[in-house]
Structure 1
Amino acid sequence: MSDPFRIVALLFPHVTQLDFTGPAQVFSKMPGAELHVAWHREEPVPTDAGFSILPTTTLEAAPQADVLFVPGGRGAFELLEDEVMLDFLRRQAAEARWITGVCTGSFLLGAAGLLRGRRATSHWGSLHLLERLGATPVAERVVRDDHVITAAGVSAGIDFALRLTAEIYGDDVAKRLQLQLEYDPEPPFDAGAPSRPDADDELANAQIASMTELRGDVVDRAAARLDAG
């Protein structure tokens, strides 16, 4: 393991804040880890929650990552045609030990060509669209395919970060971090995914249809660029 162990996280406008901050809280407790937060410019970046996060570096100046981390949010789909950002992901991924994404961050990895032929997950509302980018969609909380780890929607980022901790530092360290963070979820309802018994099937189906209509075209354009390139 390098010293320090560098985690480079992509930040972008309209990121889902918990996609980013949930894993970041775990990363901050990893022994010897440095978190670098990268965007085009070092200025406050608005999240989906009404507050901003300040990057620590730019895409150009970011150090080589041991872990490349990409959160999601509606802003991810606004970046599928940002070639500077996609080139940044490709460059970082070439030398990274781990390539990771949470929620719809998987689509940025996919648009960069990093999920072709791999099993991957994302938020359930858009998961089926990953196939258009050459991935095999898997409806699981956290999915590992070799050195690529993806997580399902939003809150799954904490599960992912603990799984990554275990892969790097071992189970005992991950368990200690889970205890320190009191990550002991006890939701009031069993409605956290379409497959759960308290979930609203009609609402889930409507959201999947809406995401297909809203995001399908931009995903298809990203897929076409991959095929052409």
Structure 2
Amino acid sequence: MWNLHRKKILITGGTRGIGHATVIETLKLGAQVLFTARSKTEVASFEQELQEQGLPATGLAGDMADAQRRQEISNWINAHWGVLDVLVNNAGMNIRKPTLEFTVQEYQKILEVNLIAPFELSRSLHHLLVQAKHPAIVNIASVAGFLDVQTGSPYAMSKAALIQQTKSLAAEWAKDGIRVNALSPWFTETSLTEALLLNEAKLQDVLSRTPLQRVARAEEMAAIIAFLAMDHSSYIAGQNIIADGGMSATALLTPVI
């Protein structure tokens, strides 16, 4: 059972960071994978990379905040698979700036991509998930959803709401056999955090708050996502798995003598 053999999995935002690592992890565990990204070039490049590694997967380009594109994804899965075992809502975005500097268009876009798109995609794929034997949804949230980590308020708002969306859908859709969980990473080496982590002062601030004294690797998050997708996690539902190197468990990092 420690595999994903024959599982059909959709991973949004699959060409970079955590999504990229999750595509590779789930393929190695035996899954059939469909991944999405906004860039056609990145999708084609990643498909070629996977093919060369002997891990073929299908990529579709499109913004998951686009209702028409979401419907096209649903149509593809219905036509090619007829069922969906696992949905990984990973696609996300952020703009880092003070609250008063956001335009309406900027913060609405963040909410649309990070919150509304996972909600609508989960709804549009519900009929395919219920056809699976042990269906699951994994939402990629963030520690920013319950702690202020200076990511910008719209991002934090979107992730806090995504965590509650996870709990609500887990309770409502349990009767349909669909498990819904979330993963909340701390700072992880991805394109979203690259610029910040290149700032030595910011990096040292992050490390000073993290007992494990390092940022996470995308592969470590992918392993958690894969576990939540497995049948071995069959009694885990409505949970927000916090993977933060011990950050949220500590009040003082200086030893008390």
Q: Which structure would you say has the larger RCO, counting Cα contacts within 8 Å and 6 or more residues apart?
A: 2
TM tier relative to shorter chain: 0.3 to 0.5
Normalised to the residue count of structure 2, the TM-score between the two structures is 0.41
Normalised to the residue count of structure 1, the TM-score between the two structures is 0.45
Higher relative helix content: 2
Q: Which has the larger radius of gyration?
A: 2
